[in-house]
Each structure stands twice: as structure tokens, then as C-alpha cells.
Amino acid sequence: MDSLDRAELCYPQLLNLSCTGLMRPRSEAVLLYALFSSISVLTVVLNLLVIISISYFRQLHTPTNVLMLSLATSDLLVGLLVMPVETVRFIEPCWLLGDLMCALSYIFGFILTSASVGNMVLISIDRYVAICFPLQYSAKITVSRAEVSVSLCWAFSLIYNGLILKDHLRQPDRYNSCYGECLVVISFVSGTVDLVFTFIVPCSVILILYVRVFVVAVSQARSMQLHITAAAAGAAKVTAKKSERKAARTLGIVIFVFLLTFCPYYYPSLTGQDISNNASSWAIVSWLLYLNSCLNPLIYAFFYPWFRKAISLIVTLKILEQDSSQANIL
């Protein structure tokens, strides 16, 4: 009989209270550990490069990049704290990390996911003002305001998810039927509240703002074609608008990919069901959501020349040179 079909007790010393789980073949387990560990390491390294780039180079100290820095921080923490635990949960037949880690693993995951959603909303607002109100952008959107907005986003995410999961934190094993199980259930009521505040409202705001950004960007592109022979001063202004539109397009792709990987998680709530990590689709849905944390820096690398140049300076250790933070990378 294949070892995948062999059930083992999670805690053999507790014959009547221990859960049982199906053991994977050793070769399959090793392959899965290698795959998921690679994704986790890649997520951490890529987002660390984003954080170092934006934090170190003076030219990148802009309101938009403050929001990207916050998003990269949440993505890095997903790769550092959430992915390794989810790897063990997916591969091992039993939960062996204890009740406290069971509670904390989901709280961290939910907090980071909510923070990412908040960052996406802030990025949408930033691009909306930059494209639709270009003359007022520098006055309305400043680095200090962006930093305050990011701080409020993280604080709200922490408090909100603490309230949603307070019962689970107080009694992590409340849904467990045996030792060696880590079961989390979000009730229909809590799931509905979470659906509204973490999915429907933020996604509606993002979509409405980006539809408006798209309409205005198309209008500006047509206007540029009609005034292609503008004076030098006018041409400089047009170039700035091109830069803003390019940033809007790139960050629009980031938001689209996020929504694509985020929506399946809320499918149970949309169909009136409780959200549970015991569902057969949980592993696919959760890893699809966490995989987004690895995709964001890849999108930056593909669309942002400054990010590729910053990576080159970091990898070659040229950032150790004097005044390298003043380098022209835009």
C-alpha cells in the first residue's frame, strides 16, 4: 500500500483523543517543501529589494512610493511569517505547532491581507488624484500625508482583525475535535461583516477610481496627439503626465492581479457559507492569495526601469559607495 494511504496518529500517546492524518510519500513531501520554500524565499528577497530601493535612494522618496513601501512590507511579512507556516500546514498530516501558533498564524495572515487591501485603496486614491487633478497633486498628496495614511491603515487592520478573531485568540482550540488539529471557522455573521469591509467596499472604491483614471488617461492621450507640436514648456508638462500615466498603468496591473487572486477567498461568504480552513479548496485559495505577495515585485521589475537599476546597484554593492543614495535612477 502506498504510504500516502497510511494514516498515523498525531499524538500516539493519546489513542482516544488524537487526530489521524494521511502521510505523504517522502519524495513528494521533500518536493513540496522545496517548492514552497523557494516561493517563500523569493517573496522575501524580492520585497526586501523593493524596501531597500525605496528607503535608500532619495529620488524614490515620493508619496506613491511610500504606499508601495507599505505594500512591500506586508508582502515581505507574508513570505517571512505566513508562507512557512502554511507550508507546514499543507504538507504535514497533523498540526504540531500548538494552539498558540494556530491562533497567531491566522491572525497574522488576516492582518497582512487587510493591510494589503488598505494599501491598494490608498494607491488607487493616489493615482486618481495624480491623473485627474495633476495641478493639485503635489499640494494634496505629500509624503507626510502618505505616511499618516499608511499608519492608519495598519492600525485599522490590527484592531479590526483583532475584533473579528478575538474568540479564536482567547480559545484557539474551540473548533478542534481532537489533538493535532488547527481549525479556524469564521461565522456567517463575522464573515459577512468581513466581506463588506474587506472586500465589497474596498474593491468598489478601487474599481470606481480606476475606471475614472482610465477615462481621464485616454482623454489626456488624445489631447497629447492634438498638441504634439507644443512649446518646450508645454512638452515638459506632457512628459510629466506621461510618467504619471505609466505609474497608474503599472499600479493598475498590480491591483488587477491582487483582485484576481483575492476574490476566490471570499467565495464562501458570497454563497452564504462559513469560512473554514477545513474546506477542501482552502489550500488552493489561500496559496493563490499569498502568491500575490511574490508577484508584485515581479510586476515592478517588468514595468519600472528604476527598480531594475536599483536592484543592479544593490546587488553589485554600489550602494556602499559614498553619496550613492543621491544616484540618478529615474
Q: Is the pLDDT of residue 248 over 80?
A: no
Q: What is the pLDDT of residues 95-126, one digit of tens each?
A: 878 778 887 888 888 899 889 889 989 988 99
Helix axes of 63-77 and 282-303: crossing angle, nearest 10 degrees: 140
- CA dihedral angle for residue 79, residue 84, residue 90, residue 95, rounded to 10 degrees: -140
| Structural domain span for residue 290 | 3-326
Q: What is the pLDDT of residues 172-184, one digit of tens each?
A: 777 677 777 787 7
pLDDT at residue 207 in the model = 84
The reported pLDDT for the residue numbered 1 is 38
Helices 282-303, 26-56: crossing angle, 10 deg rounding: 40
**∠ CA(117), CA(248), CA(325), 5° rounding?**
90
Specify the pTM: 0.82
Secondary structure string (H, E, C) spanning 275-328:
EECCCCCHHHHHHHHHHHHHHHHHHHHHHCHHHHHHHHHHHCCHHHCCCHHHCC
Mean pLDDT across the chain: 80
**Segment 260-298, tens digit of pLDDT:** 877 777 665 555 555 555 555 677 778 888 888 888 888
237 pLDDT band (50/70/90 cuts)?
very low
- DSSP for residue 135: T
> The CATH number of the domain where 64 resides is what?
1.20.1070.10
Q: How many domains does the chain have?
A: 1
pLDDT for residue 188: 67
> To 10 degrees, the CA torsion angle through 262, 111, 116, 310?
-120
